[in-house]
Amino acid sequence: MRMYHRTWQQLSNSNYLTILLVLNFSFFVLVNISTHILRLDVVPYLAMPTNEWELLFKPWSLITYMFLHVDFFHLLFNLMLLYFTGVLFQSILGEKRLLYLYVMSGLVGALFLLITKLVFPYFVGSYLMGASAAVMGIIAALAIYTPEYTVHLFFLIQMPFKYFALITFIISTLLDFSFNTGGKITHIGGALFGLLYAYYLKKGIDLKSLSFIRMKTGERESIKKRFKDDDEYLDYLLDKINTKGYNSLSKKEKEDLFKISQKK
C-alpha cells in the first residue's frame, strides 16, 4: 500500500509528458501480463472497436485505445517519438497544451477513421489501438509552429523539423497503405488536427480554451524591458526559433522560454 501511495505521489508531481509515457507503458504491461500469465484477453475491452454499435457500449475505448500497445516494437517506436517531440513541444508551448493536443489528436484520428469506414468499410480492421494518431498530432503541430527548429536524425543528419515531420509521416503513414490501413487513417486525422491547432495558435487563438491568448503584464522580472509583456517576448523567441533554430537562443532566452511555457 505504501508503494502504491508513493508511486501515485510521484506521478502527481510529474509533468504531463512523463504521465503519458508511464500510461502507455503501463497499459502494455497490463495487457501482456493478462494475456500471457493470467490467460485473460483484455484487448477487446481497451481497444476501440470500429463498429459504431459496439463502440456505443464501450465509449471509454475512445480514450484507452490511444494508450494501448500489444507489440513491443510498436510501443517503442511511439514512445521514442512521443518523448522526442513531447520534450520540444512542452518546452515551447507548455505541458497543458501537450496533454490537450495528445488527447484531441487521438480523438480526431478515431473520428476520422469512423467517418472513412462509412465510405470504405472493407479497408478498416475490427479494432484500433496505439498512440500513433496522438503523436502524429504533436509532430504536425510542431512542423507548423517551429518549422525551422534543427533536429539531428540518427545523430548524423541535421534538418529542419518540418522535413523530419514530413519524412516521419510518409514512412509511418503513406508507405504501403495496404498494411495497418485503419491505423494509418487515424494518423491522417491526428495530423490534420495538429496542423489546425498550430495554425490557429500562431494567429493567437488557442483552441484548448477557445479564446485569444493573453498574458498578464509584469508577471516576470526577467522579461527584457523592450518587450511590454510575456506575449510579445514569446513571439520574439518563437520568431527567432523559426528563422535560426532553437540552438540560436541564449541560455537565458531558453530559460525564459521554458518559464513562460509553464504558464500556458
Strands 127-128, 205-206: pairing kind: unpaired
Q: What is the pLDDT of residues 17-32, one digit of tens each?
A: 999 999 999 999 999 9
Interatomic CA distance for residues 264 and 82, integer angstroms: 20
Q: H/E element holding 230?
A: helix 230-244
Domain boundaries, the chain: 2-206, 214-261
Average pLDDT of the chain, as a whole number: 84
In this predicted structure, the answer to whether residue 123 has a pLDDT above a threshold of 70 is no
Helix boundaries (H) for 131-180? 132-145, 161-169
Q: Which of 78-82, 129-133, 169-173, 232-236 has the lowest mean pLDDT?
A: 232-236
CATH number of 2-206: 1.20.1540.10
102-123 b/e (C-beta count within 10 Å ≥ 16 → b): bbbbbbbbbebbbebbeeeeee
Question: Which of 232, 244, 80, 79 is CA-nearest to residue 146?
Answer: 244
Cell numbers at residue 6, please? 508513493
Interatomic CA distance for residues 141 and 252, integer angstroms: 25
Please state the rounded mean pLDDT for residues 149-172.
88
Higher per-residue pLDDT: 4 or 200? 200
**pTM (two decimals):** 0.79
What pLDDT was estimated at residue 82?
Answer: 96
The answer to whether the CB of 164 falls within 8 A of the CB of 153 is yes
Mean pLDDT is highest, among 17-26, 147-156, 180-189, for 17-26
